[in-house]
Structure 1
């Protein structure tokens, strides 16, 4: 059941002067505010939807992953960027493994976004999400290599190159070979 106070805080995310305090207060309330934050993903003001994605990046619970995935189709590019970040960034979450998006659902969408989204910032952020699977899936490799070599945006080409084979993030995240011990 939404509380009037929390609903007001979510609405305040759309107001320039009230946004920082509302964001901090919703973050402080933690998982108790998540149901109202999830409702905020359907708010008519794009900035509110964007801020709700940013909040869920830090307060992500398994039941909100599908909500964030739906935000990948939002008409506002800033909302799509925030949703992609929330789905791909492990550093912002206390227990990232508990809320990892279902690869079978999210990977094809992330590849499509990397290839087809009209906004270069969205495509650049999609490279991070596709990069989660670069060591385990040839389709992810192919999508990143294509973006690195063919995307019209230098920003997207650069970011995709970081995650593609030979790139610095690809090398840093490569699985380590199993150690063998001599008897």
Structure 2
């Protein structure tokens, strides 16, 4: 079976592809982590973000939503200075902004996961792509999610980022139909 080509020969990318990408998650902390990491990727490669993931986890206490929501400007400046994260100030501030938005959603809905999964009726969208070229950069679903997230105050959640997020948390399965990791091929 031919698997997805995008991880290439990078071990970290391959491990992420094999064990996380397009695997459905309803874990609130993980959903927040992936939203932050996908936002950090904007304009960069996923390979760069994955290489800094451990530093992000250290800096943001494993993406503890309450901790991130309470970060001060001084704490964010310290993270920028002292951790191996992407140094873009707006992206770092978005972790705090988005944590606060997640908390608002958690108080409005039964949870962040329930809010997100409501966009797909609680079920993953399972695509059957034959080649990497068929996989879109965005979709109607990602445009709709992006628009609603922005309305709720989220940052770095454009339609392309939202689509990558949907893939990351398994709300969309974009593994090639021939990939052993595709939902239909997993045992």
The two structures share one fold, judged by TM-score above 0.5:
no
**Which one has more relative contact order, counting CA pairs under 8 Å at least 6 apart?**
2
Under a length normalisation based on structure 2, what TM-score does the superposition of the two structures give?
Answer: 0.29
Structure that is richer in helix per residue: 1
